[in-house]
Chains A and B, each alone.
Chain A
């Protein structure tokens, strides 16, 4: 039983706090597309400089940018966990992440010492400040399956950032790591599964039933999935300590966990209570299908060692996981978060009468979102195809950049509507 109005949402941050992240992110996605278009060799081997720059334009510039901005909005609301000094926190994190990611891309592309120095300082500050501020909030938060999942993802981000900084320092020549290959493996695995996937799972528990009107996730799955994945990742990251058979076993647990999440989500979506067309729903479906495809590609590599050793194998996992899964989920969620916040802040600021402001659905043209979705799917298919037939890389990169710019324009149209009806930033 709750009484009165003293609920946490009143301490929710001003619109500008999440919005600056959400509007910057598509520009990095466009930059990632541009990178592929100008350096198609990014898709030839994962160890080329453009491939590493591409990975981080996506993981830091797009995914982390949206995720940190959305967490600043979401922690106070779903967890009752207010962040200290939200405006200053947003400013430091946003500027640091933006400039730091640009410097990191420059570091990879031009192997420039000054760029590495700037990247290290800026990213360590931005992520460090965010991690400290959110740790305080997460410790106070009311525990739920979502909050427990976000806590595990927090650990994943901290570990990924720590390893990333150590790797960058070793690339710049300031330290030597005892086992660089093991550190890269751990950084990539924990970054993709321990941070990105665990966060998406934790958030899915809330947003899939809420926006897609599905039944809730089965309670036992919601209770255990993230914890099992996190435990497996911890063991896997310390793989050097495992007996030979242990790694294969743990990889199997990780793959099974990914598959369970994807299939459970697709099944819930098939049971939704209202069957209206919805772009975000389609984004989620593409995302879950990509996860299933990624697990299949992984399974094929277990069966055929020649495929496991092929250059295209890790790149296909990357295209499926980052482009097909993570970018799709985040892109789909942006189409809920930005229109909702525009509607909510307008409603709260104007105390508007019903009918005098646009509804959430009117904030972005449905046709424009649908068109952008199709272009995104085309880009993913072209990029995956480019792994088999390289001439597809350039059109794939162009399609990705165009779809990102279209996304930016669609989000900007919601913000323009917000302003046109008298919305203020404060």
Chain B
């Protein structure tokens, strides 16, 4: 389990596309080493994934029982190390 303090939680449910993506890209700039982003959404953000990969971030997506999605975003380099 990640330390919750090392996490930026971004609840983008109820935002119109592509605002959730714009918010994530903004948050990436604020990310400090060891931190991750937890993105909450009503649908799976397919177009976000290549933008993340391009910038060197990976993601893990999970669908919750209530039908919403949780996307954990982390730098690829720290995962390898």
A348 cross-chain contacts in B, Cβ below 8 A: 50-51, 54
Looking at A34-42, A60-68, A194-202, A353-361, the stretch in contact with chain B turns out to be A353-361
| Cα–Cα distance between A344 and B47 once the two chains are bound (Å) | 8
Q: Report whether B46 and A7 are in contact in the complex, using a CB–CB cutoff of 8 Å.
A: yes
Report which residue of B14, B19, B49, B59 has the largest number of chain A beta carbons within 10 angstroms of its beta carbon: B49
A1 interface neighbour in B18, B22, B62, Cβ under 8 Å: B62
| Cα–Cα distance between A347 and B52 once the two chains are bound (Å) | 11
Q: Report whether B54 and A351 are in contact in the complex, using a CB–CB cutoff of 8 Å.
A: yes
B77 cross-chain contacts in A, Cβ below 8 A: none
Report which residue of B46, B59, B63 has the largest number of chain A beta carbons within 10 angstroms of its beta carbon: B46
Q: A5-B50, A8-B46, A9-B47 are in contact. Are A213 and B14 (CB under 8 A)?
A: yes
Judge if A179 is at the interface, Cβ distance under 8 Å: no
| Cα–Cα distance between A353 and B42 once the two chains are bound (Å) | 25
Judge if A224 is at the interface, Cβ distance under 8 Å: no
Q: In the complex, what's the smallest C-beta–C-beta distance from A137 to chain B, in angstroms?
A: 16
Judge if A211 is at the interface, Cβ distance under 8 Å: yes
Q: Report whether B17 and A7 are in contact in the complex, using a CB–CB cutoff of 8 Å.
A: no
Q: Report whether B18 and A343 are in contact in the complex, using a CB–CB cutoff of 8 Å.
A: yes
Q: Report whether A5 and B49 are in contact in the complex, using a CB–CB cutoff of 8 Å.
A: yes
Judge if A218 is at the interface, Cβ distance under 8 Å: no
Judge if B9 is at the interface, Cβ distance under 8 Å: no
Q: In the complex, what's the smallest C-beta–C-beta distance from A78 to chain B, in angstroms?
A: 8
Judge if A77 is at the interface, Cβ distance under 8 Å: yes
Q: Report whether A344 and B18 are in contact in the complex, using a CB–CB cutoff of 8 Å.
A: yes
Q: Report whether B14 and A5 are in contact in the complex, using a CB–CB cutoff of 8 Å.
A: no
Mark out the residues of chain B between 31 and 81 whose CB falls within 8 Å of any chain A CB in the assembled complex: 42-44, 46-47, 49-55, 58-63
Number of interface residues of B (CB under 8 A): 28
B21 cross-chain contacts in A, Cβ below 8 A: 347
Select from chain A the residue with minimum beta-carbon distance to B46. A9
Number of interface residues of A (CB under 8 A): 30
Q: Report whether A9 and B16 are in contact in the complex, using a CB–CB cutoff of 8 Å.
A: no
Q: In the complex, what's the smallest C-beta–C-beta distance from A184 to chain B, in angstroms?
A: 41
| Cα–Cα distance between A360 and B21 once the two chains are bound (Å) | 11
Judge if A263 is at the interface, Cβ distance under 8 Å: no
| Cα–Cα distance between A343 and B53 once the two chains are bound (Å) | 17
| Cα–Cα distance between A343 and B48 once the two chains are bound (Å) | 12
Mark out the residues of chain A between 3 and 18 whose CB falls within 8 Å of any chain B CB in the assembled complex: 3-5, 7-10, 12
Q: Report whether B16 and A211 are in contact in the complex, using a CB–CB cutoff of 8 Å.
A: yes
A351 interface neighbour in B26, B55, B61, Cβ under 8 Å: B55
Select from chain B the residue with minimum beta-carbon distance to A343. B18
Q: Report whether B26 and A354 are in contact in the complex, using a CB–CB cutoff of 8 Å.
A: yes
Q: In the complex, what's the smallest C-beta–C-beta distance from B59 to chain A, in angstroms?
A: 8
Q: A213-B14, A340-B17, A360-B18 are in contact. Are A10 and B50 (CB under 8 A)?
A: yes
Report which residue of A9, A211, A276 has the largest number of chain B beta carbons within 10 angstroms of its beta carbon: A9
Q: Report whether B53 and A5 are in contact in the complex, using a CB–CB cutoff of 8 Å.
A: yes
B61 cross-chain contacts in A, Cβ below 8 A: 1-3
Q: Report whether B52 and A5 are in contact in the complex, using a CB–CB cutoff of 8 Å.
A: yes
Select from chain A the residue with minimum beta-carbon distance to B24. A354
B26 cross-chain contacts in A, Cβ below 8 A: 354-355
Q: Give 27 CB contacts A-B under 8 Å.
A: A1-B61, A2-B44, A2-B60, A4-B53, A5-B49, A5-B52, A5-B58, A8-B46, A9-B49, A10-B50, A10-B53, A77-B46, A77-B47, A78-B46, A209-B42, A209-B43, A211-B16, A274-B14, A340-B17, A343-B18, A347-B25, A347-B51, A348-B51, A348-B54, A353-B29, A354-B26, A354-B29
Given A3-B58, A348-B54, 7 other A-B contacts at CB below 8 A?
A: A2-B61, A4-B58, A213-B14, A274-B16, A348-B50, A354-B22, A359-B19
